[in-house]
Amino acid sequence: MDKKYICYCGLYCENCAVMAKVTPAAKVLYTEMVNGGFEGIMHLIPGSEGFWPFLKSMATEGICVSCKEGSGDPSCAVRICAKEKGVEVCAFCDSYPCEKLAPLCKGVPVLEHDNALLREKGVDAWGKLQDERRDKGFTYAGEK
Ligand code: SF4
Ligand code: SF4
């Protein structure tokens, strides 16, 4: 587990589909298109104006850094609150569980379990679970 990928809400960036599935797929598509000579003719294809820079940027730079570095919804109420309160993760907050987390827990069913694990067993046990999931190809989106 890489601590820089621990999100305030209890998600783990490496198990997000954007990092685990979409970015690697974008790299494959981008490489295939470059090797196929598409880069030089993309401007001739209607509708490619936004697509090509987006694909290139995702493949070469990645679109996500991490929750704590500012990726994701800039207006995320959970992140704003956690930063204001100075908590490392919501699971360790005195107000946990709160209404700000409720919609996230509804959308990501494992989050409640994962935050309970964080509270009861700590970051290392939680991280071990995240690593095991990553190695099996798990993503939060795939659990819905
Ligand atoms: S931006 Fe908000 S919802 Fe997204 S991972 Fe960070 S705390 Fe969780
Ligand atoms: S009040 Fe809620 S959203 Fe804010 S830090 Fe605590 S648990 Fe997280």
Give tens-digit pLDDT for 21-78: 999 999 999 999 999 999 999 889 888 889 999 999 999 988 888 999 999 899 999 9
The one-letter code for the residue type at 5 is: Y
Structure tokens at 66: 């991490």
Question: How much distance in Å is there from the Cα of 129 to the middle of ligand 1?
Answer: 19
Structure tokens at 24: 């690697």
Instruction: Return d(Cα 45, Cα 37) in angstroms, integer.
Output: 13
The one-letter code for the residue type at 99 is: E
Average pLDDT across the chain, whole number? 93
Looking at the CA of residue 98, tell me the nearest atom of ligand 2.
Answer: 2
Predicted confidence band at 144 (pLDDT cuts at 50, 70, 90)?
low
Q: What is the mean pLDDT of residues 93-118?
A: 95
Query: Collapsing DSSP states into helix, strand and coil, what is residue 6?
Result: strand
Structure tokens at 72: 């994701």
pLDDT for 114: 97
Structure tokens at 25: 């797929």
Are 11 and 111 in contact by the 8 Å Cβ rule? The answer is yes
Looking at the CA of residue 99, tell me the nearest atom of ligand 2.
Answer: 2
Task: Residue 25: give the domain boundaries.
Answer: 3-142
Q: How many domains does the chain have?
A: 1
Mutate which of 75, 100, 119 to test ligand 2's pocket (most atoms within 8 Å of Cβ)?
100
Kindly tell me the number of DSSP H helices and DSSP E strands found in the chain: 7, 0
Q: Which residue has the higher pLDDT, 132 or 48?
A: 132
State pTM to two decimals.
Answer: 0.88
Residue 11: pLDDT over 80: yes
Nearest CA to ligand 1 atom 8: 9
Asked if the peptide bond before residue 97 counts as cis, ω within 30 degrees of 0, the response is yes
Structure tokens at 110: 């494992």
